């Protein structure tokens, strides 16, 4: 039962809850960024490049795959290098990394703006100061 006690102590630290919240928010944020890239950014880029659909750009590695098939159909027939998806995922990563950079930069700016609080004196130091002040000659 020691393992259960250790687990309770681990969960009670509070960091686990913070981590769980971060993971959930991160997953939701990832979906937003994925939609942004796939639904907003990539279509205009594809349009500019001659109506390219990046999700269906691939290099066939099998003779069974004929030109003009969608990526899903091509994968059923044999191996492919889905370089269009790779570009999309890479763009997703860059956007998420940039947003995290901005978040960390903002937090660091806030931390620098706060004045550092002086640590409180220990109780014994405060007591000694009081005694010193009482022993000082009054005059």
Q: How far apart are CA 28 and CA 12, in angstroms?
A: 25
pLDDT in tens, 93-132: 888 888 888 888 888 888 787 776 777 788 888 888 888 8
Find the CATH number of the domain harbouring 17.
Answer: 1.10.1200.120
pLDDT in tens, 39-63: 888 888 888 888 777 778 889 998 8
- Residue 95: closest CA among 23, 28, 34, 9: 34
Considering its fold, how many domains does the chain have in total?
1
pTM: 0.57
* Domain range enclosing 112: 2-135
């Amino acid at each position: 039962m020691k393992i259960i006690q250790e687990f309770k102590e681990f969960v009670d630290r509070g960091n686990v809850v913070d981590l769980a919240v971060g993971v959930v928010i991160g997953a939701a944020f990832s979906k937003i960024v994925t939609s942004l890239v796939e639904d907003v950014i990539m279509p205009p880029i594809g349009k500019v490049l001659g109506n390219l659909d990046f999700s269906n750009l691939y290099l066939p590695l099998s003779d069974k795959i004929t030109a003009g098939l969608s990526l899903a159909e091509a994968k059923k027939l044999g191996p492919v290098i889905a370089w269009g998806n790779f570009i999309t995922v890479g763009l997703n990563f860059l956007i998420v990394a940039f947003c995290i950079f901005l978040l960390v930069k903002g937090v660091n700016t806030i931390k620098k703006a706060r004045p550092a609080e002086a640590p409180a004196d220990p109780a014994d130091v405060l007591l000694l100061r009081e005694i010193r002040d009482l022993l000082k000659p009054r005059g």
